[in-house]
Structures are given as C-alpha cells and as structure tokens.
C-alpha cells in the first residue's frame, strides 16, 4: 500500500478520485486551497485508490495522508 500525502497545509477544496479509480504517477488527485490559491496534489506512485482518507472541506497539514493506494 502507498499513501499520497499533502505537500503543504490548507483546506481540501476538491477530491478528484474515488475508491476503485486507477491513478498514474503525476496525476492530480486533489486540490488544496491555501492563501486563496488552488494547489494541485499529484500522486507520486501508480495504483488503485483503496481509501479516500480526507474529505472536501477538511483542513490538512503538510504530510497528512489524503488517499491510500494499492499496487
């Protein structure tokens, strides 16, 4: 299992994947809002979404897990 983590603190503005989706390295999986800017979060690995850990509207810190992926 691999985790996709946030790169900065902010609010989860939009989740772009669902459980069962296949993602590739570099694919945007979520968009954070921080300081009135939209920051895309990209997957660093390929896999299938097994769990969406955070929901839209949640506040996250740098390094928090957004999505869990199975190989």
Which residue's entry shows tokens 């850990």?
Answer: 53
Instruction: Say what the pTM is.
Output: 0.89
Question: E strands, 1-71, where?
Answer: 2-5, 10-15, 22-23, 28-34, 37-42, 47-52, 59-60, 65-70
Instruction: Assign 57 a pLDDT band (cuts: 50, 70, 90).
Output: very high
* 2-54 residue pLDDT tens: 999 999 999 999 999 999 999 999 999 999 999 889 999 999 999 999 999 99
pLDDT for 71 equals 84
pLDDT for 60 equals 97
Of 2.40.50.100, 3.30.70.1290, 3.40.50.300, 1.10.10.10, the CATH number of 2-70 is: 2.40.50.100
CA dist 10 and 21 (Å) reads: 24
pLDDT for 4 equals 95
Give the residue extent of every domain in the chain.
2-70
């Amino acid at each position: 299992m691999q985790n996709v983590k946030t790169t900065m603190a902010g609010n989860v503005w939009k989740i772009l994947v669902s459980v069962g989706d296949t993602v590739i390295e570099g694919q945007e999986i979520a968009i954070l809002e921080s300081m009135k800017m939209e920051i895309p979060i990209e997957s660093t690995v390929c896999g299938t979404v097994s769990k969406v850990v955070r929901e839209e509207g949640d506040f996250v810190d740098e390094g928090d897990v957004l999505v869990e992926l199975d190989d």
